Structure 1
Amino acid sequence: MRFRHLSYFVFIWIISISCQQTAVMPRISLEEEQMLLGNPSGATAEVSNANNYLLSKPQYALSYSKSRGTPNWVSWHVSNDWLGSAPRQDNFRTDVTLPEGWYRVKSGSYTGSGFDRGHNVPSADRTKSVEDNAATFLMTNIIPQAPKNNQETWANLEDYTRDLVQAGQEVYVIMGSYGVGGTGSNGTAKKVDEGRVTVPSRIWKVLVVLPEGNNDLSRINTSTRVIAVNTPNTQSVRPDWSSYRTTVDAIEQATGYDLLSEVPEEIQEVLESRIDEVPAQ
């Protein structure tokens, strides 16, 4: 009987310790998950901050520019938790969560422009549910993208990202664009939608690759793989995304952003100065 009582108290003690550990490490919200690496431009959800306006959704976070009519950057997490069997919705539409009185880009705003409605967060990165997939078709997640850049170079990088996830990795992604003027199927243009949407000249992406696990931020170290890519928004772009690899430092210099601000500075210095050399295939 004494042994049975002792076993009971040991069981209760183990349960108590487990509960304490769970309480110390609560699960972050979906919104926090999408911006785990930081807020690159210090975006805020204040109407006065019209060209660096923060939109935080369960599926992704972004900084929106009212004057450009596009996101400055978009941040999201790709893992097996986000991949499922939901079909592509193709329901491009206005984002009604933008402040009242702002011009809201429409689904047909790029029609006849020679530029694709290029996703930042790809549709295929959000297939867990119909709602998640539909969120990627909001026009605040879209930029005017040269068809070859969108359908070849960028599509190849997006496929590669999901291949990493299928191989047991998880990836934190930040994508953005800058500059004025790209070349689509109708030639070069600086604006579309009667001048209300700016065509970017450059499109970039940064991927932080980790093995599947927990407490992701604390697991980033100087050996973590970081892929930085910066491409021209043109029809002459090469389909091989890996030929456009660069450093995070170079993208930060071009944009003025702090892309991995939540990573300790001594680790940032190493990761941001290095060009990824892992074979892409």
Structure 2
Amino acid sequence: MHKPLFLAAAIAATFFGSTVSTALSTAAYAKGPATDCPHIFGTNGKPSVASSAPASRTQFLCFRGYAVQTSATTRTALWSAENLTAQAVQAARSVPRNSEFYEEAEIPAADRARLSDYGRGTGLDRGHLAPSGDFPDLASQAESFSLANIEPQAAASNRRLWSHIETSTRRMVREYGQAFVVTGPAFDPAQPARLNGRISVPTYMWKAVFVPGVGAAAYVARNDATPRYAVVSISELASFAGVDPFPRVDKAYRDSPMALLAPTPHPGEKSGRKVSLATLTSTAVDRSAQPVAQEPRHEFRQSCVLPFVRAVLTHN
């Protein structure tokens, strides 16, 4: 696959630099469907997807820091999985955020999201499933900007409540030392919506967390500006979303949700309110565009990257 130039530069920077990598070696990494991505799943197994229209045509991809299963029906991922360690999450805090979204060439053109699908004025962000802030090196972070790892996410949620949930997840990883995390969308057939006539817009977003020896549970949030969320068991999530994130985890962990940290608000912002799943899903999701600031554009400046790439090639 021809990698975007910014991604090639990031990989070169990670290789030649002294950036801290994940605790698990990336020697096992092989981009594409030819690997089971053992450095991501451990002994937990891949998430399983219930038989449904979105699951009828799927593709599995393994990246350095995460793995995804994408759907040709929704042109999004059905889940994105990570194996996070305290060391890696701490190192990620020092990695500058300077990457560019790109179309995933491993997915057939007709089955994948396009950059042009995400226009301005929709109220929807290109929302990461495996967030860029989780990754401890430039190469892994750059790969997180593949559209295979992106969902059309309400800007008011992506930049507030959902971002707060991501922060709390990293806090738990630092507290416990390691956590397996799977993130995905849930689509309500009664509330269908498509972005640019091509990309299915999730009704809900969820993030499942498994801490070995401690427990497991999942956050669920509406894909709108509603500042409320639910915490559910893995069994309840599998029934609700049609995805079982941890199929090999013991039944005791699956049926009883562990305590998850409340979402961590940014300075000056309010925390989301925890409610039951029944309350969260009792009303339709608001599809109207919310008045929020424009999504920051990650512009690719070739003039900045080319000298760096030449320097790397000369060094090699």
In structure 2, relative to structure 1, the CA distance for the partners of 1:207 and 1:279 (3 Å cut) is closer
Q: Which has the higher contact order (CA 8 A, sep 6+)?
A: 2
Q: SS in structure 2 opposite 1:272?
A: helix
For residues 217-258 of structure 1, the C-alpha deviation after alignment (integer angstroms, 9 at most, x for no partner) is xxx34xx132311111111233xxxx4111111111123333
> What is the root-mean-square deviation in Å for CA atoms of aligned residues?
2.7
Distance in 1 (CA, whole Å) between partners of 2:116 and 2:99 is 13
Per the TM alignment, residue 119 of structure 1 is displaced from its structure 2 partner at its CA by 0.4
In the alignment, what sits opposite 2:77?
71
Pick aligned residue for 1:260 from 246, 249, 253: 246
The answer to whether 1:90 aligns with 2:92 is: no
- Mapped to 1, the partners of 2:231 and 2:188 lie a distance apart of 21
Provide closer, same or farther for how the CA distance between residues 66 and 251 of structure 1 changes in structure 2, counting only shifts above 3 A.
same
2:174 is matched with: 166
The SS at the match of 1:167 is helix
- Supply the distance in 2 between the matched residues of 1:175 and 1:149 (Cα, whole angstroms): 15
Deviation at 1:27, TM superposition (A): 10
Identity, % of aligned positions: 24
Deviation at 1:50, TM superposition (A): 6.2
Change (3 A) 1:87 1:69: same
TM-score (norm 2): 0.63
Q: State the partner residue of 1:119.
A: 128
Q: Residue by residue, what CA displacement relative to the aligned partner does 1:182-223 show, whole Å, maximum 9, x if unpaired?
A: 9xxxxx971112x110001111111112xxxxxxxxxx34xx
Structure 1 pair 181–50 and aligned structure 2 pair: CA distance change class (3 A)? closer
Question: Could you report, residue by residue, the CA deviation over 1:93-138 in whole angstroms, capped at 9, with x for unpaired residues?
Answer: 1011113x43432234221221111100111101x22111111111
User: Are positions 1:135 and 2:125 aligned together?
Assistant: no
User: Among 212, 230, 252, which residue is 1:244 paired with?
Assistant: 230
Tell me which residue corresponds to 1:272. Answer: 254
Distance 2:112 2:140 in 1: 21
Amino acid at match of 2:242: G
Maintained 8 Å contact 2:117/2:198 = no
2:39 paired residue number: 33
Q: Is the 8 A contact 1:180 1:199 kept in 2?
A: no
The verdict on how the C-alpha distance between 1:55 and 1:191 changes in structure 2, with shifts beyond 3 A counting, is same
Q: Structure 1: state its 5+ residue gaps.
A: 1-25, 44-48, 183-187, 210-219
Taking the aligned partners of 1:181 and 1:149, their CA distance within structure 2 comes to: 21
Residue number among 226, 242, 258 corresponding to 2:216 in the alignment: 226
Deviations for 1:127-158, whole angstroms, at most 9, x for unmatched residues? Answer: x2211111111101000111122111111111
User: What letter is aligned with 1:107?
Assistant: L
54, 57, 68: which is aligned to 2:63? Answer: 57
- Is this contact kept in 1: 2:59–2:107, CA < 8 A? no
Contact 2:48 2:247 in 1 (8 A): no
Aligned residue for 1:235? 225
Could you tell me which residue of structure 1 aligns to residue 276 of structure 2?
A: none
CA distance in 1: counterparts of 2:260 and 2:153, whole angstroms: 27
Aligned equivalents of 1:199 and 1:259: distance in 2?
20
Distance 1:279 1:165, change over 3 A: closer
TM-score by length of 1: 0.71
> How many Å apart are 1:38 and its aligned residue?
1.5
Give secondary structure in 2 for the equivalent of 1:102. helix
Determine the structure 2 residue equivalent to 1:105. Answer: 113
Q: What 5-or-longer segments of structure 2 have no aligned partner? A: 1-24, 30-36, 265-316
**Which protein has the larger Cα radius of gyration, Structure 1 or Structure 2?**
1
